[in-house]
Amino acid sequence: MGGRAFLCWLMILGLSAGCEKAEPRRERIEIAADARSCVEGEACGVVETSCDSQGCECGVAINEKHLLEYQQKLAECRGQNKIAVCDFLCKTPFAKCFNGACVLTDEPLELFKRGRSLRESCETTGGRYVGCPECPPNARCKSCAPCECPASHRWTSKGCRRVVRTEPRDILVEVRPPKIAMTRPLKARVHNESKRTVWLKTLCGTPFYRARKKQDRWETAYQLVPKRKCKTSAVEIPAGKDRPFVVKTLSNLSAPSGELAEPGTYRFELTYTDGNESFRHHDTVFSAEFDAVSNRSPK
């Protein structure tokens, strides 16, 4: 082959090589199905998928443990290329775990729309944050309260707010004598030292239907086991007044397991409310401690 022919052959090869199609640029990253799965309690995040634009779409909800991985893939995909930038307002900018999958939602899990933390508002006002895992995404769950407030409080946009205004320290519960046999009657008097009328919840006509034992670290509630069918009701004590009661016997109290109360140091737990006697919101007050001894006359 002559030199001229060889040169032409090289030119043809070069032209053909230059005409080869370059690998097309990816338009977006693909999200694997397992990256979107989650179990209740796991956090979810949001990642965009477009390689050509930024802030032009809502993105995809993925499990938070995969978030960094896909953010790196997105950065590699975009590289040093010039991309479009948008001022797109996504209506579902947040992510939550629902029915085993991360989904987009319009409501943040822990924030009010005004930017206050639900968890902080709940826990700093005496509540227990539980969230709303049963609420479908983007649906208004009016029945859902993300915070379990004490029985004396109700949930508001500012946290748990006290509804029962009378404090337990304003109700004094005396018990006499300080030492009594299990089968002997016990005298008690409830003083309402507050400025509001209070109602004591009763079972079988007595507010002294529940007691707690010191030897159980006050954790076990021993409750009256009525020998006949009776209903719950309430007794009223006006502001600044007191009312006497007689507790017939302690031998009818039993633990949730069915075990009857035995000798030990006890205090009664009374349920009360104010404002009205519905007991939708209520609080508890404890009596003075007393010793219950075996069935013989105390010395």
For residues 71 and 182, membership in a common domain is answered with no
CATH number for position 193: 2.60.40.2550
pLDDT-derived band at 270, boundaries 50, 70, 90: very high
State whether 177 and 191 are in the same domain: yes
The whole-chain average pLDDT of the chain stands at 84
Burial class (CB in 10 A: 0-12, 13-18, 19+), 198: buried
Pair (130, 90) in one structural domain: no
**Considering only 46-50, 140-144, 270-274, which range has the smallest mean pLDDT?**
140-144
Please report the pLDDT score of residue 5 as a whole number.
55
Same domain, 280 and 177: yes
Both 271 and 225 in a single domain? yes
Domain span including residue 245: 168-293
Q: What is the pTM of this model?
A: 0.64
Q: Is residue 14 one of the residues assigned to a domain?
A: no
- pLDDT tens profile 80-131: 677 888 878 888 888 888 888 998 887 665 554 455 667 778 889 999 988 7
Q: In terms of domains, do 101 and 116 share one?
A: no
Among residues 46, 56, 47, the alpha carbon closest in space to that of 83 is found at 56
Do 156 and 225 lie in one domain? The reply is: no
What the block records as the tokens of 299 is 């010395």
CA distance 98 to 107: 13
Please indicate, yes or no, whether residues 192 and 283 belong to a single structural domain of this protein.
yes
Helix, strand, or coil here: 168? helix
Q: Are residues 176 and 258 located together in one domain of the fold?
A: yes
Query: Is the distance from CB of 190 to CB of 288 less than 8 angstroms?
Result: no
Average pLDDT over residues 264-289: 93
- Residue 113 and residue 34 in one domain: no
Within this chain, do residues 87 and 59 fall inside the same structural domain, yes or no? yes
User: Which tokens in the block code for residue 160?
Assistant: 């748990």
Residue in this structure with the two tokens 């979107």, named with its chain if needed: 36
How many independent structural domains does the chain possess? Answer: 3
Angstrom distance (rounded) from CA 31 to CA 71: 11
Domain assignment present for 179: yes
